[in-house]
Structure 1
């Protein structure tokens, strides 16, 4: 399966590189960033632009025993802190290389059947690297379109292992509805390579509104569709979804601040419902490294 996927991916990348010269310039007067929220926009940084997107996330997950089901999951409350980093660099006007590096502090406290037990850990939860290419400019009903591909090596660091875990292919679509309104959609197939998790598709749907030239607001729904949900094979979920929203503020053309909050309530096929709350604050900034 992985060889067939890689062969198809190679063909797609050759195709998009062949048409890369017809795309308009990607450099924008003001910074365009993937923060706040989970969606990425279909634009690249522009040639010679080095951009950083950094933030802190605090999330809390609570899992309660459901008396009507047989639980295979731990029950308790997890309080996590994550330092997020995305680094982007434009190697051509419509092509960038990028990486995501997240470090996580996790504190899980059990209760009910294990009232006195708790665990703590910290590890590099995400280490992805790849590239993004802007393919199509918006024209009438056709949105701006980009594709991004990344190799993921996160989470193995927790066990002292280092190997490619999955491949993430993001299709990013954006419609500028009016001068101040925008809609962004991401479709993200995630192909498991290591064989420890089922393949899945992430999605995002975000609406943004520019209150002023500096202040913006957004709301978003995002989630995961699990492609191999089968209790008999140890996969206990088929769908997971969350909602978030927040604000961004442009300090200058090259610096933006953001804040958001979100909520999710998800019930696996077997086990305990999981209720999630999270807040995040961050900064995006860029520098011109070459003319």
Structure 2
């Protein structure tokens, strides 16, 4: 297994494959950001896990115990650049209130969020930018920093939030359906990956929400990676600054396990949370799409075509069987 393929842990697309599909699972967990690349055509991917934590709000005098499960279902449709996904969470809150000496307890439990959407890769620098040819006369010129490596892959996302029935997580007057949009960028620099999400949420509501997420991922070994993440949230109802960190471990090509935690820096409310999860890929991908003008892509295409031809003709193995 090539080391570059392992870099597809959480958000990484192998930089020398020049295709959406990767040899190992490409998961958005355990962070909250989306990577710019899709899972690949005919790939079905499930990413889910439980979490628990606590929130303490000094202004309201509440102490809340929280547990829940978040989930994401991803599917590569029609061609490599397009992905459909369903993202959401189910959450339970046990709320203990002590206000002016009066104590009370209550519990709310429902789907905190559900969003169905589509992500489309509009720019891939590995496909759109020509690869630099080596300078045969200058070692220094070959080692010089290349500014175009700062140009990221770019995707756009459009989705719709939805809710059914009486949901306690909707604020008073909030509609059960609202649009969501995002711009997603991703830079791959060897063992390091930088992902940026700019999100505009609940665009049809009076209280819109704007979020920025920056995620940095670093591969430690062929099977292990760590990440750090900052999330800033701005709206008239709720604003916050959240830090996350954690790691993921790859088992085989289609299974990933992860752990993570978060904290924030305010007391209205202050919060902490820990989570664990898994990502599993049902790999129904049949044909890899490679960049024609890439020498590596042409080599992989040729190998793929030769393998398909041998399988179709029936190749005799060393033991004399087919």
Q: TM-score range by the shorter chain?
A: 0.7 to 0.9
In the comparison of the two structures, how many residue pairs are matched? 243
User: Is 1:169 equivalent to 2:163 in the alignment?
Assistant: no
Per the normalisation by structure 1, the TM-score is 0.78
For residues 88 and 49 of structure 2, what CA distance do their matches in structure 1 show? 11
For residues 185 and 123 of structure 1, what CA distance do their matches in structure 2 show? 30
Partner of 1:187: 198
Partner of 1:124: 111
Partner of 1:110: 97
For residues 158 and 98 of structure 2, what CA distance do their matches in structure 1 show? 41
Partner of 1:274: 269
Cα distance change, pair 288–155 in 1 and its aligned pair in 2 (3 A): same
CA deviation digits over 1:96-123, x for unaligned, max 9? 1110132111111112425430111211
Q: Matched residue of 1:256: which SS?
A: strand
Shift of 1:152: 0.3
Gap regions ≥5 residues in structure 1: 1-23, 66-73, 230-234, 268-272
Q: Matched residue of 2:167: which SS?
A: helix
Shift of 1:133: 0.8
Partner of 2:144: none
8 Å Cα contact 2:110-2:169 kept in structure 1: no
For residues 41 and 157 of structure 1, what CA distance do their matches in structure 2 show? 33
Larger radius of gyration: 2
- Which runs of structure 2 are paired with 1:69-148 in the superposition (5 Å)? 74-91=60-77, 92-113=79-100, 115-139=102-126, 140=148, 141-148=150-157
Partner of 2:36: 42
Q: Matched residue of 1:213: which SS?
A: coil
